[in-house]
Amino acid sequence: MTAKTRIVVLFLVDLAIIWFSIVTSYLFRFYDDMPREYYIQMYQYGLISTVTFGGSLIYFGLYRRMWQYASIGEIISVIKAILVGALLSYGIAFIILPERVPFGVEVRSVETILVLVGGVRFLWRMFHRERINYKDTQTHTLIVGAGDCGTLIAREMMGPMFAHSKVVGFIDDSMNKYHMSILGIPVLGNRYSIPSIVKDRNIHEIIIAMPSVSRTEISEIINIAKKTGAKLKIIPALNDLIAGKISVKKLRDVSVEDLLGREPIVADMNGILGYVYGRTVLVTGAGGSIGSELCRQILPFSPDKLLLLGHGENSIYTIEMELRKSFPDAQIITIIADVQDRTRMMDVFRSHRPQVVFHAAAHKHVPLMERNPSEAIKNNVFGTRNVADCADRYGAQRFVMISSDKAVNPTSVMGATKRIAEMYVQSLSATSQTKFSAVRFGNVLGSRGSVIPAFKQQIAAGGPVTVTHPEMVRYFMTIPEAVQLVIQSGAFAKGGEVFVLDMGEPVKILNLAEDLITLSGYEPYVDIEIKFSGIREGEKLYEELLTDEENLGATQHNRIFIGKPEIMNQNQLELEFKRLERVLPEEPEAIREVINQIVPMQPVAQAAIS
C-alpha cells in the first residue's frame, strides 16, 4: 500500500468514526424513542462534523505523521484536533440549526471520536512494532544507562531510520529502576548482568549512553561488555547532552583510548595564559602527531603569532589548513626548515623572535634509529642543540623540549640521543635567561608509527597481528592528554627541570592487541591470529620514567612531577659533541660506542618466547 493510499484509507476510517460516534450518541441519548426532528438534526450535525472534524484533523497534521512511531506528541495532536473540531461543529450547529444539539450527544460523540481516532492509530503502532519484532534480520541493541541520554537514544532508535534495529532493554545500576519500563523497554539489570543478558537476549550491539559518569567507570563497563562479543558504541561527551545535541549520529565505536579510563585533565588556565597569551610561539615538528596537537591546543590561548616549523611540506600544509579553518583570526606563519640546519634556525629566530618554543621535532622510531644512528644524532642531538642555542641567543622566555621515557636507562640509540638532548637543554639552563625544561612521557595512542595504527592495519588485512613479546609492557597516553600536560608543564618551569607525566598504569601490548581485535568485532586467536615476532633491536620489555639517581618532586598539578637528573657541564658536553661529529661518517657500531660513553646504554634482555 502506497503512502497516498494509506492517507486516503485513514481519512475515510476517521469519517466513518465521526458518523458512528454521532449516530451512537443520539441513539444512547434517546434509546428507542428519538423524535423525527432529531433524526434530521443527527444527519445535519453529522454533515457539519464531517467538515469541521475532517478539516481539524488535516490542519493538525494527523495524516502527515508516521503512526508506527507515535509518542506523546502525537497524542497531544489528536486531542487538540478533536477538541477544536468539536467546538467548531457545536458552535456552527448552534448558529444554523433550528434546535440545539443536546449537550450529552456532543460530549458522548467527542469521547467516542477521541477514543476511536486515537485508538486506531495506536493499534497500528502496536501492530507495526509486533510485526517488526518477528523479523530475524534486526540488530538487537542493549543500552547501558537508563537516564536522559539513554532515553533520547532509545526514542530516536524507534524512528523510521532505525527500522533495522530493536532496543531490547536498558542496563542501569540504580536499584530504583530495576523491572521498570522506559518507552515500553524494560530495565533488565545492572552492569554485571551484561554478559548473561547478551547471551539470553541475543544482543548484537551495546550502546554506552552514560556521558556524565567518570572515565574510570566507563572503562569498567567496557571491560565487562567487550567480553560478550557484541559490537560496542558510546556517546562521547557530556557537553553534547547539555547542548541538546544527543543523537544516534553522535555515537562512535568504543576505542582503545576509552579502555584507559583516564579522567579529564584539570588545567591551570591562568598559568598557561600567563606565558602563552600575546606571545610569539614556535612549535618545531609542527606537522607531527605531537607538534600538530600542540598547535591545536596553543591557539585557544590567543598567542600573538604561532610559528609552525617543519621539514615536511605536506604535513605542515595539512595542519595549516586545519588551523586556519578552526581559528580564522589567528596569525599563523608556516616555516619549512630542518632543525639540523643551524644557519636556517638562526634566520628563523632572528626574523620572528619567538618568546616560547615547543621543540617536538625528533626521530622517534626505535628500530629505524638503531639502523641509522647517525641520523638520530643529527636530528635528536644536534637539531635540539641548534634550536636551544637559538632560543638562548635570541632571548626566548621559555623552551620546552618533548622527550621520551626511552631516555631513561636507554637500551636504544633513539632513547640515548633523547637523553643527551635532555642533558644539553639542562646544561644551558645554568647560564641562560631562558627557562629550559624537558617533558618526558611514554607512548601516545594513535601517533604515526605507533603500535595502534599498525595493529589496525593488520586487523583490516585479516591478520595476523604481530606482537613482539607476550610480556612487553608500555605506558600509554592519548595525544591530547599528553600535549595538555606538556603545555601545563611549561607554566611550572623555573629552569633545568625534566618533567615526568603521570602515565597511569602500564599496559601489556598483548592485552592491547586482544582488546583492539575484540573492539573491531572479531575474536582473538579465532578470527584473528596473534603471532609473536621477538623483541626488536633497541627495545626493552619494560619502560621506566626515572633513573635510579633521579629524585621525583611534586608540582601544583597532580599529574606532573619533576625529575632532577644529574646535570653535565656544558663544556664537557661540547667536547662529547665534537667526538660525535667526528664519528658520524663511520659505521653504526663505532657511533654506538661514542654514544655509550656519554650515556651508557643498557643491554636488551632477549627473553625467550614460549
Q: Residue 23: what residue type?
A: V
Whether the predicted pLDDT of 466 surpasses 70: yes
Q: Model confidence over 205-216: pLDDT tens digits?
A: 999 988 878 778
Q: Residue 372: what residue type?
A: N
Query: Is 390 within 8 Å of 349 (Cβ atoms)?
Result: yes
Q: Of residues 231, 233, 406, 540, which has the active-site annotation?
A: 406
Q: Model confidence over 523-569: pLDDT tens digits?
A: 888 888 999 888 877 676 766 554 444 455 555 555 677 776 666 77
Q: What gap in Å lies between CA 90 and CA 103, rounded to an integer?
A: 9
How many of the other CB atoms lie within 10 Å of CB of 264? 12
Q: List the beta strands (DSSP E) in 128-226.
A: 139-144, 165-171, 181-182, 185-189, 205-208
* Catalytic status, residue 406: yes
Whether the predicted pLDDT of 385 surpasses 90: yes
- CB-based burial, 417-430: b 16+ in 10 Å, e otherwise: bbbbbbbbbbbbbe
Lowest mean pLDDT among 260-264, 463-467, 504-508: 260-264
- Residue 81 φ/ψ, nearest 5 degrees: -60, -40
382, three cell numbers: 644536534
**Residues of the chain with pLDDT > 90: what percent?**
30
Mean pLDDT of the chain: 82
Q: What gap in Å lies between CA 434 and CA 399, rounded to an integer?
A: 7
Lowest mean pLDDT among 240-244, 461-465, 507-511, 558-562: 240-244
Whether the predicted pLDDT of 515 surpasses 70: yes
pLDDT on residue 471: 85
Whether the predicted pLDDT of 78 surpasses 50: yes
pLDDT on residue 449: 61
pLDDT on residue 610: 33
Lowest mean pLDDT among 61-65, 76-80, 372-376, 416-420: 61-65
Q: Which uninterrupted H or E stretch holds 455?
A: helix 451-460
Could you tell me the pLDDT band of residue 607, with boundaries at 50, 70 and 90?
very low
- CB-based burial, 112-142: b 16+ in 10 Å, e otherwise: bbbebbbeebeeebeebeeeeeeeeebbbbb
Task: Return the closest-CA partner of residue 203 out of 290, 264, 140.
Answer: 140
Q: Which CATH class is domain 139-254?
A: alpha beta
How many of the other CB atoms lie within 10 Å of CB of 59? 12
Mean pLDDT of 220-230: 87
Could you tell me the pLDDT band of residue 239, with boundaries at 50, 70 and 90?
very low
pLDDT on residue 113: 84
For domain 269-445+477-503+544-598, the CATH superfamily is NAD(P)-binding Rossmann-like Domain (3.40.50.720)
How many of the other CB atoms lie within 10 Å of CB of 90? 22
Task: Give Cα separations from 436 to 88, 108, 366, 432, 503 (angstroms).
Answer: 82, 87, 26, 8, 22
pLDDT on residue 265: 58
* Helices 103-133 + 72-96 axis angle, to 10: 150
pLDDT on residue 608: 34
Ranges of CATH 3.40.50.720 domains, the chain: 139-254, 269-445+477-503+544-598
Q: What gap in Å lies between CA 359 and CA 419, rounded to an integer?
A: 14
Query: Is 369 within 8 Å of 418 (Cβ atoms)?
Result: no
pLDDT on residue 363: 92
Q: Alpha helix locations (H) across 31-141? A: 36-59, 72-96, 103-133
